[in-house]
């Protein structure tokens, strides 16, 4: 038996002013998206935004359903919106944020497991990692990951199939 240690490397920014202006704008866009979040069941209003290499921003927010398993996360709405357009420009960064009134969150909102798998798919499609910024409206600090591998190590990936 061999034991293997996986390390989790990320950066924590104390405040968004410490980030490049384009990333501050990206987080602002994610925050705007929470207004369109449809979350009557969880009241967990999540917004996501993508920054493309051409400077364009694409947003998404969670869309819930009375049949709970049909709910879809903000990150996937943003990524599938991007995927549904004929955009040549690659995705440089993704930001996610949340507004939640039922509890004061002390940690940024991390992408769920399903979204991590979908982010992995888009990274693979474009042959380039995506910078990920996890935030929450009630939290000053921002967690940054360089690529999904950091938070989805040993992923089920394309290389398994082909």
Which residues form the interface with ligand THU (CB under 6 A)?
39, 42, 44, 46, 62, 64, 71, 73-75, 111-112, 115
What is the helix (H) or strand (E) element at residue 154, kind and residue range?
none
Q: Nearer Cβ to ligand THU, position 18 or 41?
A: 41
97: its two tokens:
């944020």
With residues binned 3-state (H G I as helix, E B as strand, rest as coil), the percentages for the chain, rounded to 5, are 35, 25, 40
Q: Nearer Cβ to ligand THU, position 10 or 89?
A: 10
3: its two tokens:
């034991």
Residue 22 Cα to chain centre, angstroms? 16
- 35 and 46 in contact (C-beta within 8 Å)? no
Q: Minimum distance between the CB of residue 132 and ligand THU, rounded to whole angstroms?
A: 11
Catalytically active residues, by annotation: 75
Q: Minimum distance between the CB of residue 84 and ligand THU, rounded to whole angstroms?
A: 18
Segments of 62-109 assigned E as strands: 91-100
What is the helix (H) or strand (E) element at residue 31, kind and residue range?
helix 21-33
Report the C-alpha gap between 108 and 118 in whole angstroms: 20
Q: Minimum distance between the CB of residue 71 and ligand THU, rounded to whole angstroms?
A: 4
Q: Minimum distance between the CB of residue 14 and ligand THU, rounded to whole angstroms?
A: 23
- 96 and 28 in contact (C-beta within 8 Å)? no
């Amino acid at each position: 038996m061999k034991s293997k240690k996986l390390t989790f490397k990320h950066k924590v920014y104390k405040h968004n002013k410490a980030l490049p202006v384009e990333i501050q704008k990206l987080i602002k866009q994610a925050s705007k998206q929470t207004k369109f979040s449809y979350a009557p069941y969880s009241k967990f209003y999540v917004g996501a935004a993508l920054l493309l290499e051409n400077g364009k921003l694409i947003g998404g927010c969670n869309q819930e359903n009375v049949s709970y398993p049909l709910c879809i996360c903000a990150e996937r709405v943003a990524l599938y919106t991007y995927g549904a357009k004929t955009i040549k420009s690659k995705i440089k960064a993704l930001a996610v944020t949340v507004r939640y009134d039922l509890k004061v969150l002390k940690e940024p909102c991390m992408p769920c497991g399903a979204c991590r798998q979908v982010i992995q798919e888009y990274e693979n499609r474009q042959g380039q990692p995506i910078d990920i910024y996890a935030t929450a409206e009630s939290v000053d600090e921002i967690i940054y990951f360089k690529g999904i591998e950091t938070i989805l190590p040993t992923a089920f990936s394309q290389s398994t199939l082909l």
